[in-house]
């Protein structure tokens, strides 16, 4: 049998503090020196008002706090007046309106509230009958009661102000820490952009210088194949090796140029999910085939928005391909989209080998790779394309746990 559970709306409506107020006033009604019907009604009214006050937002304003203080003061005044006036053992109940005022009003309002409560209490002296009087030895206690109201109000206000100041300092410290984190991310992005720009210029110059000799070698190898006799198999084989290696090197030079060449982003209204689907189809047609299962987790809130579909398809292809290659046999790769703070987030998640923490900042650097067959230009080109879109790319990874690459593309509110 399942245990009984309180409904959540009821839990939010009734708090522990409210229950304590009810218990306190119920105890006063049951065990106090005066257990008449009028006394019980006044205590019940105070309890209900004390609980209901925190549920009404208007009472949190300055005007609402002042009105709330007056209502409590009137109820407490009636309660004290019903129980012997100035000699009532319930004089301390005036602390409730005084403390409430101290927690919501400024220092001037707090002192005025304490003065009003003191005058209300002292006004019972005017209601003494001719045969009633205050013994001289009790006058000092009367002064102490009035002084107590003033001291409690000021001390409560001081504690509240100290708590608020501490909370403001804590909030400022958290904002400063967040600003420092954002600054570190921005500095890392700037350093990466500077490295990309410098290496891009070097790659462009080097690639152009290599193109001409490569073309000469390619042409020479083809002429050699045509001129070598058919029975000279070794020479023909060597010429074939030269031609294929020149093609491979020329492909590498082309990738250098792709990296170094300024990108022209042609943003048009497109569906990011369709671009991801095309990238996944390319990964699934990869030769040799990859033994990974790719899952799609698309958010219906992500609608078409302007971006360069062709360039972003290259981004998704590289990220999904890397994730599939890092995954174990039949490993899962998940592509997830969602709206996030004015941006569209595309996350590529794998449970593969992960990335060493020492390499996390270097993986977007050109020519950095941990694979023997890699060149180290895939992720730098990805980062460059995302930067050209005004977006950002981040990575979270644990060695042996997998990686999460997140691409954030900015979207105007009307487009999101």
Q: Estimate to the nearest angstrom the gap between the alpha carbon of 288 and the chain centroid.
A: 41
| Level-2 CATH architecture, domain 187-260 | Orthogonal Bundle (1.10)
Can you state the angle between helices 95-104 and 136-227, rounded to 10 degrees?
Answer: 30
Instruction: Render pLDDT for 111-152 as a digit per residue (tens, 0 to 9).
Output: 898 899 888 888 888 878 777 777 777 788 888 888 888 888
How large is the C-alpha radius of gyration of the chain?
A: 39
Confidence of residue 10 (pLDDT cuts 50, 70, 90): very low
Instruction: Render pLDDT for 167-222 as a digit per residue (tens, 0 to 9).
Output: 889 989 999 988 888 888 778 777 766 766 666 666 666 666 777 787 788 788 78
Give the residue-averaged pLDDT of 301-319. Answer: 92
Give the residue-averaged pLDDT of 7-11. Answer: 45
Confidence of residue 262 (pLDDT cuts 50, 70, 90): low
Give the residue-averaged pLDDT of 387-392. Answer: 89
Give the pLDDT score at 217: 81
* Distance (Å, whole) CA 121 – CA 336: 68
Burial class (CB within 10 angstroms; exposed 0-12, middle 13-18, buried 19+) of 231: exposed
pLDDT(17) > 60: yes
Give the pLDDT score at 120: 87
Burial class (CB within 10 angstroms; exposed 0-12, middle 13-18, buried 19+) of 46: buried
Place of tokens 């939010």: 12
pLDDT(235) > 70: yes
pLDDT(307) > 90: yes
pLDDT(7) > 50: no
* Distance (Å, whole) CA 22 – CA 264: 70
Give the pLDDT score at 1: 38
Give the pLDDT score at 278: 95
* Distance (Å, whole) CA 181 – CA 176: 9
Give the pLDDT score at 298: 95
Structural contact between residues 142 and 121, judged by C-beta atoms closer than 8 angstroms: no
Confidence of residue 94 (pLDDT cuts 50, 70, 90): confident
* Distance (Å, whole) CA 14 – CA 60: 18
Confidence of residue 38 (pLDDT cuts 50, 70, 90): confident
Instruction: Render pLDDT for 56-68 as a digit per residue (tens, 0 to 9).
Output: 777 777 788 888 8
* Distance (Å, whole) CA 42 – CA 343: 57
Entry pTM: 0.49
- Cis geometry, peptide bond prior to residue 288 (ω within 30 degrees of 0): yes
What percent of the chain stands above pLDDT 90? 18
pLDDT(49) > 80: no
* Distance (Å, whole) CA 22 – CA 48: 8
pLDDT higher for 223 or 405? 405
Q: Is 258 left (phi over 0), alpha (psi -120 to 50) or beta?
A: alpha
Nearest CA to 91 out of 123, 67, 45, 66 is that of 123
Place of tokens 């060597």: 238
pLDDT(12) > 60: no
Q: Estimate to the nearest angstrom the gap between the alpha carbon of 348 and the chain centroid.
A: 20
pLDDT(5) > 50: no
Give the pLDDT score at 413: 58
* Distance (Å, whole) CA 398 – CA 286: 26
- Mean predicted lDDT score pLDDT of the chain: 81
DSSP three-state, residue 402:
strand
Give the pLDDT score at 258: 67
- CATH fit for domain 268-410, picks 1.25.40.10, 3.30.565.10, 3.30.460.10, 3.40.50.300: 3.30.565.10
How do 331-340 and 292-297 pair as beta strands? parallel
Neighbours of 8 (CB within 10 A): 8
pLDDT(357) > 60: yes
* Distance (Å, whole) CA 256 – CA 211: 11
In this structure, what DSSP letter does residue 306 have? Answer: E
Instruction: Render pLDDT for 141-158 as a digit per residue (tens, 0 to 9).
Output: 888 888 888 888 889 889
pLDDT higher for 226 or 397? 397
Give the pLDDT score at 3: 43
Q: Where are the domains of the chain?
A: 8-133, 187-260, 268-410
pLDDT(359) > 90: no
Give the pLDDT score at 358: 78
Give the pLDDT score at 311: 92
Give the pLDDT score at 260: 64
Confidence of residue 377 (pLDDT cuts 50, 70, 90): confident
Confidence of residue 286 (pLDDT cuts 50, 70, 90): confident
* Distance (Å, whole) CA 196 – CA 254: 17
Nearest CA to 218 out of 251, 253, 247 is that of 247
Q: Is 164 left (phi over 0), alpha (psi -120 to 50) or beta?
A: alpha
């Amino acid at each position: 049998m399942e245990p009984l559970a309180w409904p959540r709306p009821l839990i939010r409506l009734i708090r522990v503090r409210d229950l304590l107020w009810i218990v306190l006033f119920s105890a006063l009604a049951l065990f106090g020196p005066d257990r008449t019907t009028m006394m019980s009604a006044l205590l019940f009214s105070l309890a209900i008002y004390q609980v209901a006050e925190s549920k009404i937002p208007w009472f949190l304003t300055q005007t609402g706090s002042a009105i709330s203080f007056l209502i409590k003061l009137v109820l407490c005044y009636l309660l004290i007046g019903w129980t012997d006036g100035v000699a009532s053992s319930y004089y301390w109940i005036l602390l409730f309106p005084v403390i409430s005022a101290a927690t919501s009003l400024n220092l001037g309002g707090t002192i005025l509230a304490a003065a009003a409560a003191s005058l209300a209490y002292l006004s019972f002296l005017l209601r003494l009958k001719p045969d009633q009087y205050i013994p001289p030895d009790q006058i000092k206690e009367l002064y102490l009661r009035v002084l107590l109201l003033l001291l409690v109000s000021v001390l409560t206000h001081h504690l509240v102000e100290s708590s608020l100041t501490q909370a403001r300092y804590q909030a400022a410290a958290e904002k400063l820490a967040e600003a420092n984190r954002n600054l570190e991310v921005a500095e890392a992005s700037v350093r990466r952009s500077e490295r990309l720009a410098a290496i891009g210029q070097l790659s462009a110059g080097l690639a152009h210088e290599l193109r001409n000799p490569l073309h000469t070698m390619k042409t020479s190898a083809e002429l050699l194949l045509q001129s070598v006799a058919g029975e000279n198999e070794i020479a023909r084989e060597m010429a074939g090796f030269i031609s294929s290696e020149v093609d491979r090197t020329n492909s590498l030079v082309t990738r250098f140029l792709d990296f170094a060449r300024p990108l022209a982003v042609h943003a048009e209204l497109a569906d990011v999910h369709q671009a991801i689907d095309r990238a996944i189809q390319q990964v699934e047609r990869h030769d040799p085939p990859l033994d990974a299962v790719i899952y799609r987790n698309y958010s219906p809130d992500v609608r078409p928005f302007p971006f360069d579909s062709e360039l972003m398809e290259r981004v998704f292809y590289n990220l999904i391909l890397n994730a599939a290659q890092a995954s174990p046999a039949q490993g899962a790769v998940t592509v997830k989209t969602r709206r996030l703070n004015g941006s569209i987030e595309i996350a590529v998640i794998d449970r593969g080998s992960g990335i060493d923490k020492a390499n996390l900042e270097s993986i977007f650097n050109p020519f950095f790779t941990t694979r023997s067959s890699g060149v180290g230009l895939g992720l730098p080109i990805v980062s460059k394309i995302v930067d050209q879109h005004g977006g950002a790319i981040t990575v979270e990874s644990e060695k042996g746990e997998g990686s999460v690459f997140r691409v954030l593309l900015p979207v105007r509110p009307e487009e999101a």
